[in-house]
Amino acid sequence: MIKRRGVLAGAAGWTIVGTSSVRAQAWPSQPIRLVVPYVAGGSTDTAARIVAEKLSGMLGQQVIVENKGGGNTIIGMDLVAKAKPDGNTLLLGAATMATNVALGLKQPFDPLKDFQMISTLVDIPDLLAIDGKALPAKNYAEFAGWVNKQPQRVRYATSGMGNQPHLWGELFRTRNKLNLESVSYKGAADALRDVMGGHLPIMIDVVLPTGTHVAAGRLTGIAVASPERSTVCPDVPTVAELGMKDLESAAFFGLVGPAGLPAPIVEKLNALCLDTLKDPAVKKRFAELGFFTTGSTPQAYLDRVRSETERWSKVVKENNIKVEG
């Protein structure tokens, strides 16, 4: 009797595994939703559509971008966290997976437990630029010297309180002991408008769109936080070139699914992501948008979210940054 039960239990186990395998092999059998936790338009949305277009051709099923902006990306993320883990609903994961936790924002999910990381996709580095008419400096040394000679703190513009570039700005300020304070706007367009209009002398944001104004000579680039110079504003030195490699920083994006996504689907999507990012045409399109292609294993992606959470949590605590939500 014991032997017979053991055989039946083993057979049942193989049936379950076999069914799961068949389902994974049959995937995808319908169009796939790629949830982007931002409103349509902008470089992030465009990046998602580049990936969706490429994956559609590889998978033989349309990957449809669905914009679900709001709540500092929490709305779109929550939709995917609660989705059935069948590979038919995916997420463009953003740096907010780390920064929202660092800021202590209430979220109806745990970014480290309720999602399955698949692969990082692209980074868009942070950039410090100045209005050369208001702040007479051509390089970092002149910039720092001028700022620290001012009797009052010099204000810099950011595209949003507590977002990744703002946190980097505070890290940059404290690390270099600069006489600065941030002014947060509701978006990059408003912040740039005031800097270009001479109301504030400094802009800290990701490299696009600010970098295009640097390239055109309307602003002066002081430092870009990427390991390599950006193709958007190639004359701007990297933080590593300035002796600040520890200040490398970027808003990072990747492909994510809900927790419980079958391993064969994760492996297939990871391989397709890595193939996509090797495509010269794709790399060129991303470079034009200010992105660096990355690509990683699921574990490396998870490790990055963890490390970025720790990094920005420290910045938030040391600078007493508070965001409602």
Give the residue among 38, 105, 31, 68 at the shortest CA–CA distance from 251. Answer: 38
- For the chain, give the longest Cα–Cα distance: 89
180-208 residue pLDDT tens: 999 999 889 999 999 999 999 999 999 99
pLDDT at 244 over 60: yes
Strands 154-158 and 180-184: parallel
Cα distance between residue 280 and residue 271, in whole Å: 17
pLDDT at 236 over 80: yes
pLDDT of residue 43: 86
Which band of pLDDT confidence, cut at 50, 70 and 90, is reported for residue 9?
very low
What 171-179 contacts at long range (C-beta under 8 Å, 24+ apart), as own/partner pairs, is 171/247, 171/249, 171/315, 172/128, 172/204, 172/223, 172/247, 174/315, 174/318, 174/319, 175/244, 175/246, 175/247, 176/144, 176/244, 177/148, 178/144, 178/147, 178/148, 179/147, 179/148, 179/150, 179/153, 179/154
Q: To the nearest whole percent, how much of the chain has pLDDT over 90?
A: 89
Contacts of 77 (CB under 8 A, 6+ apart): 37, 91, 93, 96, 97, 107, 109, 111, 115
- The pTM (predicted TM-score) of the whole model is 0.90
pLDDT at 13 over 50: no
pLDDT of residue 323: 86
Residue range 156-165: average pLDDT?
95
Strands 250-258 and 115-130: antiparallel
pLDDT at 12 over 80: no
pLDDT at 232 over 50: yes
Which band of pLDDT confidence, cut at 50, 70 and 90, is reported for residue 24?
low
pLDDT of residue 286: 96
pLDDT at 158 over 70: yes
Structure tokens at 170: 């505070």
Which band of pLDDT confidence, cut at 50, 70 and 90, is reported for residue 41?
confident
318 by Cβ neighbours in 10 Å (0-12 / 13-18 / 19+) ranks as exposed
pLDDT of residue 25: 63
113-131 residue pLDDT tens: 999 999 999 999 999 999 9
- DSSP state at residue 71: G
Structure tokens at 98: 């780390």
pLDDT at 20 over 50: no
pLDDT at 103 over 50: yes
pLDDT at 151 over 60: yes
Q: What is the DSSP string of 127-191?
A: EEEE-TTTS--SSHHHHHHHHHHSSSPEEEEESSTTSHHHHHHHHHHHHHT--EEEEE-SSHHHH
Contact 124, 291 (CB under 8 A): yes
pLDDT of residue 42: 84
pLDDT at 108 over 70: yes
Contact 51, 82 (CB under 8 A): no
pLDDT at 7 over 90: no
- H or E element that contains 33: strand 32-36
Q: How far from each other are the two terminal CA atoms of the chain, in whole angstroms?
A: 60
65 by Cβ neighbours in 10 Å (0-12 / 13-18 / 19+) ranks as middle
SS3 319: coil
What is the number of other CB atoms lying within 10 angstroms of the CB of residue 138?
Answer: 11
pLDDT at 22 over 50: no
Cα distance between residue 111 and residue 305, in whole Å: 9
What is the number of other CB atoms lying within 10 angstroms of the CB of residue 64?
Answer: 12
Provide the total of helices (H) and of strands (E) in the chain, helices listed first. 11, 10
- Residue reference for tokens 């660092």: 102
53-85 residue pLDDT tens: 999 999 999 999 999 999 999 999 999 999 999
